[in-house]
C-alpha cells in the first residue's frame, strides 16, 4: 500500500511536522488557480500519498510527473498558484517537497498568505494551450477580497528532488488565521507536494451553543500533541474528515515486543498485557463530551484488543508545562477516566453514549490508550462546547522517547 509508510521521527526533522496538514486534499484543500499546468496539474501538490516516480510513464504533454509542473517559460513572469486551505488556521511550518523533480525542479519559490472571506471569484484560467493570467489580472481579482497578501516565505532557493534533498522545510511564525496561500515558482519548474502544517481555527462565536459537534475533529481545531508510537500511521489521521480511505489513513502502531508468549484474558475477555500505546489530543474547544465513536475501519488482523479514554481540563498555561519539552504521559495526575476499558472488534464502528461515559464535566484534552497495540482509523468526540475559550497558543511539539 503506497501510503502505509513508517512515521519514523528523525531528530533533525522540525517539530512542526507533527501538526495537521491543513492543505491536504483529504482535508478539503483545493487549488483554485494556476498559471500553467502543462506537464502536471497543481492539484497534485495537495495529494495525501507520497510522490511517486514511474520511469515509463509519459503523457501526450511529456513525462508524467507526480506534482505540479509548468512549461519551460519563454515569456516574462513566473508561475504561481492559489491554494484554498481545507481547514483555515494558524500555520506553523511548510514543506515544499520537490521529490523526483531533478532536472526540472523549480529553482526558487516563495509563499504568500491571506485570510479571505471567501474564495476569490477567479475566472482566469491557467491551461495547457494559451498563456495564463498575468500578475496584474490576478491582483485585480484578489484585492477585491484582501488588502494584501502577507509574505510567509521570501523568495528562497529550493533543493532538487533527490531522496536526501527533496524536503524544503520552512518554519513559520505568523500569528494570524490563514485561508489561502499563493505558491510562487521562480521562474517555472516542478514541485511535488506542498504540505501546510498547522492547527485549524474555527470561528466558535458563530456556533449556537446547543449544537453537538465533534470537538476533536481536524476541521474544528483538534490536534494531536503527543503519542507513544506511530510506526505505520500518525494519530492525527484519526481526526480526519469522513471515514478512513484505507489502513494508511489511521493511527497504527508497531507490534509491541513485550506481548506475553502465551496470552491470557480476564473475565470480560480483555487481554492481560503489560504494554499499551497512547495518543494525546487537544480538542478544538473545551466541552462536555456526550458521545464517542472509535472506528477500527480496515484494521482487521491488527485492531487493538481494547481501548480506554482519559480526559482532563488544562489551561493553555498548564498545557505548556506538559507540551513544552516532552509531553508527559501522566500530567500531574490530572487524567480522569472518560471511557472505561472496552473490548474492540475488527473493522467496526464502536459507539459509546452518555451512559457509558464516566464523567460529565468540561474537558480540553483526551488520551486514547490502546492495548496492546494496533490500529484505530477514527476517533470522534461528540459534545457541546463550553463557554470558556481555549486560546490555542503555539504548542511546541516534542516526541517522547
Ligand atoms: N524529461 C522531462 O522531465 N522533461 C520536461 N518535463 C516533463 N515532465 O516532461 C522538462 O523539460 O522539464
Write down the pLDDT at residue 11.
56
CA of 41 to the centre of ligand 1 (A): 14
CA of 53 to the centre of ligand 1 (A): 13
CA of 337 to the centre of ligand 1 (A): 57
Q: Which atom, in ligand 1's list, is nearest to the CA of 62?
A: 9
The Cα–Cα gap between 94 and 57 comes to 29
CB of 62 shorter than 6 A to ligand 1: yes
The Cα–Cα gap between 152 and 326 comes to 28
For 44-78, strand residue ranges (E) read 58-59, 62-63, 68-69
Residues in the chain, pLDDT under 70: 1-11, 118-148, 209, 322-332, 388-401
Identify the CA nearest to 93 among candidates 171, 147, 26, 203. 171
Whole-model pTM: value is: 0.89
Per DSSP, what are the bridge partners of residue 217? none
The Cα–Cα gap between 256 and 240 comes to 26
Write down the pLDDT at residue 209.
65
Q: Do 125 and 81 contact (CB within 8 A), yes or no?
A: no
Strands 68-69 and 150-157 turn out to be unpaired
Alpha carbon of residue 252 to chain centroid: 15
Residue 97: which residues within 8 A CB-CB, separation 6 or more?
51, 161, 166, 167, 168, 191, 192, 193, 194, 195
Identify the CA nearest to 54 among candidates 40, 72, 42. 40
Write down the pLDDT at residue 49.
96
* Ligand 1, atom 3: closest residue by C-alpha: 63
CB of 104 shorter than 6 A to ligand 1: yes
Rounded to 5 degrees, φ, ψ at 26 are -75, -15
* Interval 23-57: pLDDT, tens: 999 999 999 989 999 999 999 999 999 999 999 99
Write down the pLDDT at residue 118.
65
* Interval 228-270: pLDDT, tens: 999 999 999 999 999 999 999 999 999 999 999 999 999 999 9
CA of 28 to the centre of ligand 1 (A): 29
Amino acid at each position: 500500500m503506497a501510503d502505509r509508510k513508517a512515521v519514523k521521527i528523525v531528530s533533525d526533522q522540525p517539530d512542526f511536522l507533527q501538526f495537521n496538514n491543513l492543505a491536504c486534499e483529504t482535508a478539503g484543500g483545493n487549488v483554485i488557480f494556476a498559471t500553467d499546468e502543462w506537464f502536471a496539474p497543481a492539484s497534485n501538490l495537495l495529494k495525501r500519498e507520497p510522490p511517486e516516480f514511474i520511469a515509463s510513464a509519459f503523457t501526450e504533454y511529456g513525462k508524467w510527473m507526480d506534482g505540479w509542473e509548468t512549461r519551460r517559460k519563454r515569456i516574462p513572469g513566473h508561475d504561481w498558484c492559489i491554494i484554498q486551505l481545507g481547514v483555515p488556521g494558524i500555520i506553523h511550518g511548510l514543506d515544499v517537497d520537490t521529490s523526483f523533480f531533478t532536472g526540472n525542479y523549480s529553482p526558487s519559490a516563495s509563499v504568500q498568505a491571506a485570510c479571505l472571506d471567501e474564495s476569490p471569484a477567479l475566472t482566469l484560467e491557467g491551461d495547457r494551450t494559451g498563456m495564463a493570467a498575468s500578475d496584474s489580472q490576478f491582483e485585480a481579482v484578489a484585492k477585491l477580497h484582501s488588502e494584501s497578501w502577507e509574505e510567509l516565505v521570501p523568495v528562497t532557493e529550493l533543493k532538487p528532488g533527490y531522496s536526501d534533498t527533496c524536503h524544503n522545510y520552512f518554519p513559520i511564525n505568523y500569528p494570524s488565521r490563514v485561508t489561502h496561500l499563493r505558491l510562487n515558482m521562480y521562474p517555472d519548474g516542478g514541485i511535488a507536494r506542498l504540505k501546510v502544517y498547522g492547527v485549524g481555527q474555527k470561528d466558535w462565536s458563530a456556533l449556537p451553543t446547543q449544537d453537538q459537534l465533534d470537538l476533536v475533529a481536524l476541521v474544528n481545531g483538534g490536534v494531536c500533541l503527543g503519542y507513544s508510537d506511530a510506526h505505520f500511521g500518525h494519530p492525527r489521521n484519526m481526526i480526519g474528515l469522513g471515514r478512513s480511505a484505507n489502513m494508511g489513513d489511521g493511527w497504527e502502531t508497531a507490534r509491541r515486543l513485550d506481548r506475553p508468549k502465551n496470552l491470557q484474558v480476564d473475565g470480560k475477555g480483555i487481554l492481560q498485557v503489560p504494554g499499551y500505546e497512547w495518543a494525546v489530543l487537544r480538542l478544538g474547544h473545551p466541552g462536555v463530551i456526550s458521545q464517542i465513536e472509535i472506528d477500527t475501519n480496515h484494521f482487521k488482523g491488527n485492531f487493538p484488543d481494547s481501548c480506554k479514554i482519559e480526559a482532563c481540563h488544562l489551561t493553555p498555561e498548564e498545557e505548556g508545562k506538559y507540551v513544552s519539552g516532552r509531553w508527559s504521559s501522566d500530567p500531574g495526575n490530572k487524567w480522569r477516566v472518560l471511557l472505561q476499558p472496552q473490548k474492540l472488534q475488527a473493522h467496526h464502528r464502536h459507539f459509546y453514549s452518555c451512559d457509558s461515559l464516566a464523567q460529565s464535566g468540561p474537558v480540553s484534552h483526551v488520551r486514547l490508550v490502546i492495548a496492546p497495540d494496533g490500529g484505530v482509523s477514527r476517533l470522534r468526540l461528540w459534545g457541546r462546547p463550553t463557554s470558556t475559550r481555549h486560546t490555542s497558543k503555539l504548542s511546541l511539539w516534542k516526541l517522547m522517547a
